[in-house]
Amino acid sequence: MRSHLLNDMTAERYRRSVTEGVERVANRLATTRRPFTGVTPDELAPVVSAIDLDRPLGDASAALDELEDVYLRDAVYFHSPRYLAHLNCPVVIPAVLGEAVLSAVNSSLDTWDQSAGGTLIERRLIDWTAQRIGLGPAADGVFTSGGTQSNLQALLLARQEAKTTDLAKLRIFSSECSHFSVQKSATLLGLGPEAVVSIPVDRDKRMQTVALAAELERCRAEGLVPMAVVATAGTTDFGSIDPLPEIAELAGLYETWMHVDAAYGCGLLVSPARRHLLDGIEHADSVTVDYHKSFFQPVSSSAVLVRDAATLRHATYHADYLNPRPTVEVGAPPASGGLRGSIPNQVDKSLQTTRRFDALKLWMTLRVMGADGVGQLFDEVCDLTAAGWELLAADPRYDVVVRPQLSTLVYRYIPRSVTDPVLIDRANLHARKALFASGEAVVAGTKVGGRQYLKFTLLNPETTTEDIAAVLDLIAGHAEQFLGENLVHAS
């Protein structure tokens, strides 16, 4: 069994099996445009259950053959131009290379003595990202598992920096379109059930700053304490970007922490054409970025950045076995001040202990493609989305919600002959399900004003306007078929 450990004797076999695995995926993508087979849990579960885990195959090729049946054939492929559903991206190849290397070395980024150069690479990328944001010389941050964790950590820091320890008094302000992890974080942080104040959005789904100002004022008048304002730079449903400069001004006025959730919109940091959409983000106290959304990185790859490195001390705990007190460096400025002879232990800044070297994927991506290369891909999908909006707006079969700033389109099928809103909801729901079952395309759904809508999240530069038009025809077909059957029954 030792022959399965990676060492100089087994490297060639490792190389072959990794290559074979990646090749199988690539071949699959080359031979079908479909994102999915339409398999159901009832069909697939018995196939997975039938595998006898106590009887190993002993051989990577045999295991890959078996994997075709239990996973590869029926997986949902984000690389397909007709996968238009959630905030998942096809991945760039340099990142896949980084993934293979980081798993093979298996560095853990908690302490220097488990990572060495990995720690320095992560710190460079944190500095690079902070600089792109414009956070200033004292900035720092750390890679995380995703936007949910980044938001939790940012709000933890905000709670510790708040002007009261009375948790029941703390309030977080975020738009009604902000991500649900804001509410989840508030609960995990022990805040009261009323802690998150939901601010209404305007027609373009951006936070109404007049309402924010009124809520901040009311908070103060009631003797409560504003803990944080969360601005979303790219809402999950609409890709809308809250007015960052105005929000920054209000956060300053009320002396509260400003967090920008740019989990989705972070790709704009490298966009040659659209960087200005993030103007004002430089005022943030903390920022969430998900490289695994708009930087075309494999899951997981995310970071939380902070304006003031010293605030990360709120995540610092010591263990004799890992990061004992004398060797740690707490809150020292990162690159600007150098390492100052101390041992850089990233665990001092993280909610995690053992932690993947996800930074390597972004590093390889930047070293091969460059920031502009990534940004151009994101610009392409934003351009495609603008074209998709034109299609939808001109199509009498559809109602489309907002002109997109990023790469989502929210719309619904509106039959000419039917006015019952409940039936229209059901027709849209049915169309989404039928499309998924057919495997021809995958789209998402959401609600707007209580009504059922459908959603495209366009993160694949290979998707074309023809793909969008074709999927809209498929949806219309499924919806019409449903209405045909149900109107017959009704009459």
Ligand X SMILES: *Cc1c(COP(=O)(O)O)cnc(C)c1O
Binding of residue 77 to ligand X (CB under 6 A): no
- Residue 283 touches ligand X, criterion: CB under 6 A: no
Backbone angles phi, psi at 456, to 5 degrees: -105, 130
Residue 232: φ, ψ to 5°: -105, 125
Rounded to a whole number of angstroms, the minimum distance from the CB of residue 182 to ligand X is 8
Q: How far apart are CA 241 and CA 231, in angstroms?
A: 8
Dig out the tokens for 133 from the structure: 């944001």
Instruction: State yes or no: residue 302 binds ligand X (CB under 6 A).
Output: yes
User: DSSP letters of 278-341?
Assistant: GTTGGG-SEEEEEHHHHS-PPS--EEEEES-GGGGGGG----TTTS-GGG---S--STTT--TT
Q: How far is the CB of 287 from ligand X (least distance, A)?
A: 11
Site for ligand X (CB under 6 A): which residue of 146, 344, 404, 415?
146
Instruction: In whole angstroms, give the CA distance from residue 196 to residue 178.
Output: 11
328, 343 Cβ separation under 8 angstroms: yes
Instruction: Establish if 236 lies at the interface with ligand X (CB under 6 A).
Output: yes
The footprint of ligand X on residues 81-110 (CB under 6 A) is 87
Query: Which range in 30-38, 143-151, 388-396, 436-444 contacts ligand X by CB under 6 A?
Result: 143-151
**Inter-residue contact 323 to 111 (CB < 8 Å):** yes
264 counts as binding ligand X under rule CB under 6 A: yes
Compute the distance between CA of residue 490 and CA of residue 155 in angstroms, rounded to an integer. Answer: 51
Number of residues that bind ligand X (CB under 6 A): 15
Query: Is position 231 an interface residue for ligand X (rule: CB under 6 A)?
Result: no
Chosen residue from 232, 323, 385, 452 binding ligand X by CB under 6 A: 232
* Of 155-163, 191-199, 260-268, 419-427: span binding ligand X (CB under 6 A): 260-268
Among 35, 90, 141, 147, binds ligand X (CB under 6 A): 147
Q: Which residue stretch of 141-149, 382-390, 419-427, 434-442 sits at the interface with ligand X (rule: CB under 6 A)?
A: 141-149
Length of the chain: 491
140 vs 290, beta carbon nearer ligand X = 290
Shortest reach from residue 301's CB to ligand X, in Å: 9
- Which lies closer to ligand X via its Cβ, residue 294 or residue 452? 294
The residue among 288, 268, 260, 298 whose CA lies nearest residue 378 is 268
**How many Å apart are CA 461 and CA 381, to the nearest integer?**
5
- Answer for which of 82, 132, 171, 179 binds ligand X (CB under 6 A) is 179
Binding site for ligand X (CB under 6 A): 87, 146-148, 151, 179, 181, 232, 234, 236, 261, 263-264, 290, 302
